[in-house]
Structure 1
Amino acid sequence: MKSKVWHIIGDKRAGGSNHFVKQLVVSRLRDRFAFLVLRLEEARALLKTEKPDLIVFHYPCAWKYLWDLVYFKTKSPLFICEHHYCQGFEADQVHSRMRFRWLLRIAYGIANGVVSVSQAQCQWMLAAHLVNPRKVRVITPASRVENLLTLPAKFPSSPLILGAYGRFARQKGFDRLLKVMAQLPSEKFQLLLGGYGPDEAILQQLAENLPQVQMVGTIGDVAQFLSRCHGVVIPSRWEPWGLVCLEAKAAGKAVLVAAVDGLPEQVQGCGEVIPLNDLDAWKDAIAALAEQDLITWGKNGRASVVNAWENCLDHWEAFLGDVTM
């Protein structure tokens, strides 16, 4: 009989944790596990009549959810998959570090364990004494990228076309990227900026008089978007992992990423890691791209993620098998 695994998730956005969970539950693991994806209120109701073998909690931890965690723990083994919080988030968004850390210590303490999404995030958890080292394991997320792995190489030309995409929100740092692009010549560098979100008006205003920037709206076809780019820029203020980096590498694109959280560990021989708040360093790194071997960077990045999805599934299968025995 298949083990019953419930994924409790509230994220309705197309990307991020929602995208990952949707792909996970229809993967080959469904041959071994009976997955159910539920919102919090649906899980509360269903627990009155059913008992899962495992609950994986994907919501961001919050004081209002602590009693739910306690309740879930009385019904089933409970693990928190931490897609949300990291050192960069704490530095940029948290006003009371003591209160924030106590929240996480209590939440992680209630759960049977925590799944961390990057080595950097895990190191932050342990350094801040947020979780017992025996209760945390790292499983880096991935996604199916077969259509990206077959994209042909795009040889450098002038202007060099860079891509950046994601939610238009403070986290992604696109406001700073536009300020950097304003200092670069439009005849040598172009930026395609794709996405949507609450900061769209701000970004539109910043890009209004920049001929080197094209706002392309929501990205419906990631492969088609990336096929237009020579490289991808990821200037996030925080990023526990960062699936955009994996997608860019699968597409054979050089990457420039912020030196924050889970991004640097994804860049080995396929791009550069730039200091988070040094806009001059970002300008210099982009300006130097024309002199870099972007094709080799692209090949190296692609080679590093060819088996990323299958490796991710292997680790999730081992984890789920261990905790549902």
Structure 2
Amino acid sequence: MIIGIPKETKTLEGRVALVPAAAADLVRSGHEVHLEKSAGLMSGYSDDAYASVGVKIAADAESLYGVAEMIVKVKEPIAGDLSYLREDHLLFCYLHLAAEPELTQSLLDIGLTGVAFETVEEVDGSLPLLAPMSIIAGKIATQFGTHALHHPMGGKGLLLGGLPSTERGKVVVLGAGAAGGNSAALAAAGGANVVVFDKRQDRLAEMMAMGANVTSLYPYEELVAEEISDADLVVGAVLVTGAKAPHVISREMVKNMQPGSVIADISVDQGGCVETTRPTTWAEPTFTEHGIVHFSVTNMPGAVPRTSTHAISAAILPYVQRLANPGWRDVPSLAKGINVEAGKIVHPALL
């Protein structure tokens, strides 16, 4: 199969789907791999690094998409990408279609087959292609949220971990999966008092075991409202596989928070779990509403491409190898990953 790796086009997105070593494995397996010129530079990989393992370098996006049968990229296609996609393309990337009705319709109009990283699901319910980026996004949410609390950034001017003679800051995390769990762990390690909400008892136990400064609770609506009212940083990490995220935090709850507090909504890719969330970019990562600083960049892991690219490449390579060969629809995890095909919505969460 001819596999194309285009340059990412979202604002300040530095990732590339496959590192040279992964591309080399595909070439050794008999596939033809094409890379758009300079697609790997922000992740630390030159065109020469790819060419040296047998990858063909395409001069631009048009020629890359024109020759490829399967498109392997990181983020969902946007305006420029959509103009090059064809009905016979197999598209493999993050799609997050539940929050993007216009993109969904564009892909339906094109008629291609779209397999989304975030809905590739193994028999045990795990999401192997979402997990690595969720881990990174969770860490970034706490790191950036800590920074956003600084007064020059519009925050209340609080050091989360505190020090002798001062109080510790308070972090509330909604969701204890890969994203929320890592966000909570980093906040706890930094010395903050952390409250984590989740419905699963096993995850609540894991969070509680992190240390004496971590409390884990079931997300009763009144209790969520009470805990976030005096939180310094709130991290939203609610996930319903393939579906739009529910609004766990209402506008009224946001209004009751202390001015200068911060919300980092990792769920923004799926529409956000906070009613006041709206998508932002790394060019302008925050906005303030009701006195609360909101951080809701739709590609948080794109800020650390040297780390993120290694993680995503290792995760997706086995699935790329399977997709590049006949019979891939018989693989349950990949079958679950199909979101759209032949002009129709396939994934049940999108119906």
TM-score, normalising length: structure 1: 0.39
Q: Which has the higher contact order (CA 8 A, sep 6+)?
A: 2
Larger helix percent = 1
